[in-house]
Amino acid sequence: MDKNISSNTIISNYEVKELFLAIGLGNPTSIKFETASLEIGIHSVNVGKKKYLLKSSLRNIKPEEKATQDAIINELSLYKVLENSDVTAYQKIVYSDITKKHIDVNFLILEIQGVPYKKKVFSIRERKLVMYQAGEQLAKIHNIKGLGYGSEKIGIEHSWFAAYKKLVDDIISDLTVKNVNVDTNRIYSVINKLSFLLEDVEPSLIHATIWKGNIYVAEKGTKFLAFAGWENAMWGDLATDFVRLNPVRGTMNNKSFIRGYLSVNPLVIDKNFHIRKNLMKLYLGLRALIYPILKWRKDTQKYIYKKIEGRIMISESLRYLEGVQINE
């Protein structure tokens, strides 16, 4: 079990089996608890040759941790938007329930098609083709516009700046509680200096965690299938999804991905876009810094790596943003 995630908050494998039988998806041949965040637990379930992912909210949570209760509801609301669009880049929900009819938690079940991109060996040509297709689908996702900014999980705001500020404030608060030092003076200085660039941003549907582990492809051939991991999706600045496809090189350096994207959405990649992208890199760096502290045992390899990654992203984004001249 992950650090800070108590075992009594996660539904058991036995409960998973009983749930699958009750809703008619069959008798699981294998059940594996995969991971848990401070919001949801995830189990992978096989029924014969079919593969499923069960996401469930946590039980025994404190009243002030309402975001945990809203995580599944938030994801369901975003899936409903996707289902009413021409986007195909998501795993399909085969069952969901927030009425507590079958079990005392909210849950959704996805049928998993294909395999993660990072687990498949490609030729250079095949890799370019898949990335082009992924770029096309991300552009279609970004073309879906909302009426506000944020999500049901964090709240809907009337401007992207207000939503962005709330996202950063929440993480800074968590870092402070955990006695993790970050230079808040530098962080809020660049945010306040460049806040005007966030006021006129359109509320696009953004995935917020685009990376190769969340890209699924067909087991055979070179077909892109879906983006996985929609837990943090929200309405906001589409520049968010260009921060990191590859942790080192970044999405903007993946030319095939960008070509696919631009074939659908003629995005203007100018100085303002790069500033907004770095503001989102700052946020994602802060999130990468707090994530292992809340979730994993200290001094494990993944704990250390994620914290280093977060520090690098924060440092790089601050250095870029502090160099921006407003009158340029």
Instruction: Give CA–CA dist 123/267, Å, rounded.
Output: 29
pLDDT of the residue at 220: 86
CATH no. of 115-322? 3.90.1200.10
Among the residue ranges 76-85, 122-131, 240-249, the one predicted with the least confidence is 240-249
Homologous superfamily (CATH) for 7-111: Phosphorylase Kinase; domain 1 (3.30.200.20)
pLDDT at 22 over 70: yes
Give the chain's end-to-end CA distance (angstroms, integer): 51
Nearest to residue 240, comparing CAs of 293, 213, 185, 201? 201
Q: How many CB atoms lie within 10 A of CB 12?
A: 13
Give yes or no for residue 138 having a pLDDT over 90: yes
pLDDT band at 15 (very low <50, low <70, confident <90, very high): very high
Domain ranges of the chain: 7-111, 115-322
The pLDDT tens digits for 202-241 are 999 999 988 888 899 998 888 999 999 888 899 999 999 9
For the cut 80, the answer to whether the pLDDT of residue 54 exceeds it is yes
pLDDT of residue 4: 53
Cβ neighbours for 139, distance < 8 A, ≥ 6 positions apart:
260, 261, 262, 263, 264, 265, 267
Q: Which residues contact 123 (CB under 8 A, 6 or more apart)?
A: none
Mean pLDDT of 300-326: 88
Predicted pLDDT at 1:
47
In this model, does residue 64 exceed pLDDT 60?
A: no
Going by pLDDT thresholds of 50, 70 and 90, the confidence category of residue 248 is: very low
> Please, which pLDDT band fits residue 294 given cuts at 50, 70 and 90?
low
Q: How far are the Cα atoms of 163, 203, 290 from residue 145, in angstroms, in the given order?
A: 16, 6, 29
Average pLDDT over residues 15-26: 97
Report pLDDT for 68: 45
Of 53-62, 78-87, 131-140, 201-210, the least confident: 53-62
Say which residues have a Cβ less than 8 Å from residue 195's Cβ, sequence separation at least 6.
161, 165
d(CA 141, CA 298): 37
Say what the pLDDT of residue 29 is. 97
- Distance between alpha carbon 190 and the CA centroid of its chain, in Å? 24
Please provide the average confidence, as pLDDT, over all residues in the chain: 88
Mean pLDDT of 156-184: 94
Mean per-residue pLDDT, 132-149 = 95
Name the packing angle between helices 184-194 and 160-177 (round to 10°). Answer: 180
- Residue 108 has φ and ψ, to the nearest 5°, of -140, 150
User: Does 198 or 246 have the greater pLDDT score?
Assistant: 198
